[in-house]
Chains A and B, each alone.
Chain A
Amino acid sequence: MSKHDPVRYVAKNMRLDLALIAGMIEPRSRVLDIGCGDGMLIEHLFRTKGCDARGIEIDMTEVTRAVAHGMPVMHGDADQDLAHYPDAAFDYVVLSRTLQAVERPREVLRQMLRIGTRAVVSFPNFGHWRVRWQLLRTGRMPMTATWDRAWYETPNIHPCTVRDFFDLCAREGYVVERWLAADDAGRRAPWRRFPRLANLFGEQALFLLRRA
């Protein structure tokens, strides 16, 4: 059971993160939140925006908590379960701070934009100056508030930077409708027009994508 499952997701500061994500989602839309934890975002979207919001979560304790709270959440895995949904079943598919922890990030993004019209993706930015500085100064894998697990036990097997993500979107032909970089508390940082600065000073990034 869950104690044997690999720990896949970093701890989330959902309360702040969810406000930013919710800001990208239109009222009354159909939403799938992948890695929804105890369902805080889907409850928020249901109660404040009247969305038909559902979730997938890998940690069974969280799933049980969410369902026991009346939220439609199923036990599942971003890498395994998205393939079972039909095309365009959702208006938005959300992946919050989870992309870096999945086995096949590119395939997960493809599935998200197959089953959803739009994808909302947030991830911790490995290009942040503190990460770069630690690697440069000590020559060792960075340990920061965001990247807080040792290399041999981190679930974050696919770290990327803001620029890397822009590059992947271009390669895959995704349109970046909106994006922003924020500090770890979810406060928006003021570099939205300058990806290179955002890549240096943003601790996390949030993208709203659609197919071209």
Chain B
Amino acid sequence: MDQTDTLAEIDHSHVTFPEGLTLDCGVTLPELTVAYRTYGTLNAERTNAILICHALTLDQYVAEPSPVTGKPGWWDSVVGPGLPIDTDRFFVLCANVLGGCMGSTGPRSPRTEGGEPWGIDFPPVTIRDMVRAQKRLTEHLGITRLFAVIGGSMGGMQVLEWAATYPDAVFAAVPVAAASYHSAQNIAFHEVGRQAIFADPDWQGGQYWRTGRIPARGLAVARMCAHITYLSEQALTRKFGRRIQAAPKAAEEAIGLFGDMFEVQSYLRHQGSTFVNRFDANSYLTITRAMDYFDIAAEHEGDLAAAFRGTRTRFCIVSFSSDWLFPTEESRAVARALNGVAANVSFVEIATDKGHDAFLLDEPDFHRTLAGFLSGCAEHAGLAE
């Protein structure tokens, strides 16, 4: 599985802020680039903008094919004309997160003009740093208040951080399959992934660009491990059960355990091997660390409700019944903290056996909930039909 860096140098549409960005860790990035995509039209009053925050390994190509993989946009069943996030009505915006590898400033960015990439030396970023970078983008576009901020998983963390950090800039917030902090179990799974990357001989201390050989095996194992957490036992059983997949012909002679394999093995290997073609290992380390350090309550003396005191944002919290990575109870805790400051909060658990990944899949109840919440909010915000 020797692999070279296939993350093509694509020119993602972006904006660069030459003044840079000071991070929570105290380091100032000398220059900040935010790569982003937009859909729909910003109205004259600039009041119909919806910011979508993407999850760990996703990107800004929400509703159009990814230029890297050619696959359809990751939320193209949710964002588009007449869809729950209706681009005939709303101006939809999504930025690659700070620390990412799809055009925004991250470990792949040159450390100095024309120099080597940051690599492992890229400063640690937080979810709040990601949000600050997005805030720069919205200001650049002349948007003072977002009609809504919406995101699943790590995107949901960003939604909560937006609402806590810039309450007046968020009319409505939809954190989906998220939590106010990353649990010990989630950190543990991330650590397995990181250790797999470090254990790869091609890791090369993170300076793998020098040889052109990327730590593909380690990154693939990290993805396989993480992918299990995105599914549920029921979903795995339904999709694969204990079915065996015949070994390729060449291996027919090799009778035994390692000729044939379970379908679930083959599926995971496929997930791992395709991932390395579209994601950078140093970005994976940077972003997983940002998620691990996420804890909104800790930013407010341990009091989650305090993060939202006085908020006028309308919240819609969505969880999925079979999601064990971000279980419903963690969403409920956020809902209760919001109750504690008398915030306007809707809270729905969608019944599904698809696990955490349900937020990306065809879940009609979720899509109806999202569409209904947004149109209710649009009425309160005085947005025309």
Contact = CB atoms under 8 A, between A and B. Distances in A.
Interface of A: 1-2, 52, 54, 60, 63-64, 67-76, 81, 84-86, 89-90
Contacts of B342: 85-86, 89-90
A74 B346 contact: yes
7 A-B pairs with the lowest CB-CB distances in the bound complex, closest first: A70-B376, A68-B372, A74-B347, A89-B342, A68-B368, A1-B351, A84-B336
A185 B339 CA distance: 34
Given A68-B371, A68-B372, A63 B339 contact: no
Interface in B318-377: 321, 332, 335-337, 339-342, 344-351, 365, 368-369, 371-373, 375-377
Given A64-B368, A74-B347, A85-B339, 18 more contacts: A1-B349, A64-B348, A64-B369, A67-B373, A68-B368, A68-B372, A68-B373, A69-B376, A70-B372, A70-B373, A70-B376, A72-B345, A74-B339, A74-B346, A75-B348, A75-B349, A81-B336, A81-B339
* Most B CB within 10 A of own CB, among A1, A54, A67, A75: A67
A74 B373 CA distance: 12
Nearest to A47: B379
A72 to B, nearest CB: 5
A85 B379 contact: no
Contacts of B351: 1-2, 60
Nearest to B365: A64
Given A60-B351, A67-B316, A67-B369, A72 B336 contact: no
B314 interface: yes
A89 B345 CA distance: 13
Contacts of A71: 346, 376
Contacts of A60: 348-349, 351
Interface of B: 314, 316-317, 321, 332, 335-337, 339-342, 344-351, 365, 368-369, 371-373, 375-377, 379
B347 A76 contact: yes
B136 to A, nearest CB: 31
B350 to A, nearest CB: 7
Contact of A68 (B335, B345, B369, B379): B369
A74 B314 contact: no
Contacts of A73: 346
Nearest to A74: B347
Contact of A74 (B340, B345, B368): B345
A84 B308 CA distance: 14
* Most A CB within 10 A of own CB, among B346, B347, B348, B365: B346
A63 B346 CA distance: 9
Nearest to B372: A68
A90 B345 CA distance: 14
11 contacts: A60-B349, A67-B316, A67-B346, A68-B368, A71-B346, A73-B346, A74-B348, A75-B347, A75-B348, A81-B336, A84-B336
A86 B309 CA distance: 11
Contacts of B346: 67, 71-74
Contacts of B372: 67-70
Nearest to A115: B342
B349 A72 contact: no
Contacts of B344: 52, 54, 72
B367 to A, nearest CB: 9
Nearest to A89: B342
A60 B332 CA distance: 13
A145 to B, nearest CB: 32
Contacts of A72: 314, 344-346, 376
Nearest to B335: A74
A71 B371 CA distance: 12
* Most A CB within 10 A of own CB, among B365, B369, B373, B376: B376
* Most B CB within 10 A of own CB, among A60, A72, A73: A72
Contacts of B373: 67-68, 70
Contacts of B335: 74, 76
A86 B377 CA distance: 24
A89 B343 CA distance: 10
B156 to A, nearest CB: 16
Contacts of A90: 342
Contacts of A64: 348, 350, 365, 368-369
Contact of A1 (B321, B341, B345, B368): B321
A70 B375 contact: yes
B178 to A, nearest CB: 16
A64 B336 CA distance: 18
Nearest to B377: A70
A54 B347 CA distance: 11
